[in-house]
């Protein structure tokens, strides 16, 4: 597992030094991540299907870039697809080690969940002790 060496203080300092355009785009990605998680509560438990979601979004970005270049479609289509690709890449990374359980406010390790079992936060099916 790749461990982050950033403490919250280092992260705060890093954010202060970032250009506004980087912060703006990070906020767009975070907002899309939240929207996608709300809309599609389930995320594949296996890496192949999870990676396919990221690849699908990336493919849509390439398609939007081609349409921008050759069909004169708006730049905003590329930006939207880039944001969605970033959000799904973030979701892939967040879920790579396990799942965030809102019921118990912790990351549930893949080892805590029976493969193939549905991760159902509302019913505590994440393997945590929350009823």
Q: Tens digits of per-residue pLDDT, 7-50?
A: 778 878 888 899 999 999 999 999 999 999 999 988 887 889 99
Q: What is the pTM of this model?
A: 0.73
Helix H, strand E, coil C: the string for 9-44 is HHHHHHHHHCCHHHHHHHHHHHHHHHHHHHHCCCCC
Q: What is the mean pLDDT of the chain?
A: 82
Q: How confident is the model at residue 5 (pLDDT cuts 50, 70, 90)?
A: low
Say if residues 43 and 33 touch (Cβ distance below 8 Å).
no
Give the pLDDT confidence score for residue 41 in this predicted structure: 87
Give the pLDDT confidence score for residue 124 in this predicted structure: 47
d(CA 15, CA 6): 12
Q: Which residue has the higher pLDDT, 85 or 109?
A: 85
């Amino acid at each position: 597992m790749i461990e982050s060496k950033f403490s919250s203080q280092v992260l705060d300092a890093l954010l202060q030094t970032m250009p506004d355009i980087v912060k703006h785009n990070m906020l767009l990605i975070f907002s899309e991540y939240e929207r996608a998680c709300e809309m599609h509560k389930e995320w594949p438990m296996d890496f192949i299907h999870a990676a396919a979601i990221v690849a699908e979004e990336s493919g849509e970005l390439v398609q939007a870039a081609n349409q921008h270049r050759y069909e004169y479609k708006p730049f905003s289509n590329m930006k939207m697809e880039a944001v969605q690709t970033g959000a799904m890449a973030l979701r892939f990374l967040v879920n790579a080690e396990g799942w965030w359980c809102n019921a118990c406010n912790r990351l549930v390790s893949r080892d805590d969940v029976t493969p193939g079992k549905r991760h159902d936060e509302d019913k505590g099916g994440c393997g945590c002790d929350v009823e």
